Amino acid sequence: MTYLPKPKLHHPELPTNQLGFTRRDYEGAVSTLCAGCGHDSISAAIVHACFELSLPPHRIAKLSGIGCSSKTPTYFLGNSHGFNSVHGRMPSVVTGANLANRDLIYLGVSGDGDSASIGIGQFAHCMRRGVNMVYIVENNGVYGLTKGQFSATADKGAKNRRGVPNNDEPIDMIGMALQLGATFVARGFSGDKVQLVPLIKAALVHRGVAFIDCISPCVAFNNHEGSTKSFDYVREHNETVNFLDVITGREEITADYAPGTVEIVRQHDGSLLKLRKLSDDYDPTDRVAAMHFLQTHSARGEIVTGLLFVDPEADDMHGYLNTAEKPFNDMNDSELCPGSAALEKLNASLR
Ligand SMILES: Cc1ncc(C[n+]2csc(CCOP(=O)(O)OP(=O)(O)O)c2C)c(N)n1
Ligand code: SF4
Ligand SMILES: [Mg+2]
């Protein structure tokens, strides 16, 4: 048996959301990851975010690659669509699914090995194409599933469990996402659910590609002294840029627009991102400034968390390609196959 179902019984007075669902309705099977693994906290944050946004579970599609992180979709959203692809290939599968049906909410979950090594090309093209999705990398700096080899996000000089240092420069996926045109870029920490849940909610209501790099310590292979992805290291070196509240278009908008350290970002769908900034001069809508800020702090060994960049006017792949509104599975035969005259016209336009 590869998974353990959870008992269906729950307390009759559990709070319900606008759809009448409880948190339990957004859970999945019992996790088989190591006790204390950061990935389980991210699963809990995803459950929390989807419950609070009252998302209909049948409208969510969760996709992943291979790794402990990529196993986690089994442990959340048990009533949603799921697809576990091959190693590093989640982005192309989401891209195809999204092209065929734009009506679903796409959630891609991956690891630093899955996305920064074998899948780095896929990751890059997904960012630059603006696939409308939430892309979460559960970043522990190691290949957890295959027993803890350094991954491409491990910091130079970081030590493995036996004290051997990593000699290679790290890939900063946040820096790459910014450079490649992602329209929502954030970093979270699995040990800070208060910050992570609103980041996931904001990513879910964002149109365009929303990337979250979530530091997620591997308690089995990368949580010792000398690691820069351990719980202790991240807590000591965390530099938070802002705290986020998400007010969706569905809710009555009662946000106070107090000037000073609060910034309100209104997105396409009317949702408001209310950002309490820790530094007055941090502007989350300035891509170049975000890149500079990131580089400056990472040179000091600091891990910047929060919403680093958002383009509230972002479009997505469908907008760029001018595709049909209707999902393929809603089209009839003549819409799917418009006949030889239409094909002839198309061919002629390409000659
Ligand atoms: C094509 C292919 N190559 C290698 C592997 C072996 N493999 C399985 S998981 C994994 C790395 C997973 O690391 P990461 O994505 O960081 O996930 P984690 O387990 O750390 O959460 C590797 C190399 C594989 N399954 N398929
Ligand atoms: S090996 Fe590491 S990443 Fe995998 S379940 Fe255990 S703690 Fe989590
Ligand atoms: Mg990993």
Instruction: Report yes or no: 2 and 56 within 8 Å, Cβ to Cβ.
Output: no
Check: CB of residue 114 under 8 Å from CB of residue 87: yes
- Bridge partners for 136 per DSSP: 109, 212
The pTM of the full predicted model, rounded to 2 decimals, is 0.95
- What percent of the residues of the chain are helix, what percent strand, and what percent coil, each to the nearest 5? 35, 20, 45
Q: What is the pLDDT of residue 72?
A: 98
Residue nearest to atom 6 of ligand 2 (CA): 34
Q: Distance between CA 74 and CA 83 in Å, rounded? A: 10
Q: Could you give the maximum distance between any two Cα atoms of the chain, in Å? A: 68
Average model confidence (pLDDT) across the chain: 93
**What local confidence, expressed as pLDDT, does residue 271 receive?**
87
Nearest CA among 242, 272, 277 for reference residue 259: 277
Is the Cβ atom of 39 under 6 angstroms away from ligand 2?
yes
Q: Whose CA is nearest to atom 5 of ligand 2?
A: 33
**What is the arithmetic mean of pLDDT over 180-208?**
97
- Closest atom of ligand 1 relative to the 69 alpha carbon: 21
Closest residue by Cα to atom 1, ligand 2, is 144
pLDDT in tens, 77-97: 999 999 999 999 999 999 999
Contacts of 162 (CB under 8 A, 6+ apart): none
Average pLDDT over residues 16-39: 97
Model confidence pLDDT, tens digit, residues 92-111: 999 999 999 999 999 999 99
User: Ligand 3 centre and the CA of 132: distance in Å?
Assistant: 24
Nearest CA-CA partner of 102 in 79, 82, 132: 132
Nearest ligand 2 atom to the CA of 38 is: 8
Query: Per residue in 311-346, pLDDT tens?
Result: 999 999 999 999 989 999 999 999 999 899 999 999
State residue 252's pLDDT score.
Answer: 58
If you search the block for the tokens 């759809």, which residue do you land on?
A: 19
pLDDT tens-digit series, residues 119-163: 999 999 999 999 999 999 999 999 999 999 999 999 999 999 999
| Any atom of ligand 2 within 6 Å of the Cβ of 220 | yes
Residue among 32, 34, 66 to mutate when testing ligand 1 (max atoms within 8 A of CB):
66
For every residue of 3-47, DSSP letters joined together read: -BPPPS---TT----TTS--GGGGB-SBP-SPTT-HHHHHHHHHH
pLDDT exceeds cutoff 90 at 347:
yes
| Ligand showing the shortest atom-to-Cα distance for residue 190 | 2
Which residue reads 């820096």 in tokens?
Answer: 175
Kindly state if the Cβ of 68 falls inside 6 Å of ligand 1.
Answer: yes
In this prediction, residue 1 carries a pLDDT of 47
88 Cα to the center of ligand 2, angstroms = 18
38 lines ligand 1 (CB under 6 A): no
Q: 225-269 pLDDT, tens per residue?
A: 999 999 999 999 999 999 999 998 766 555 555 555 788 888 888
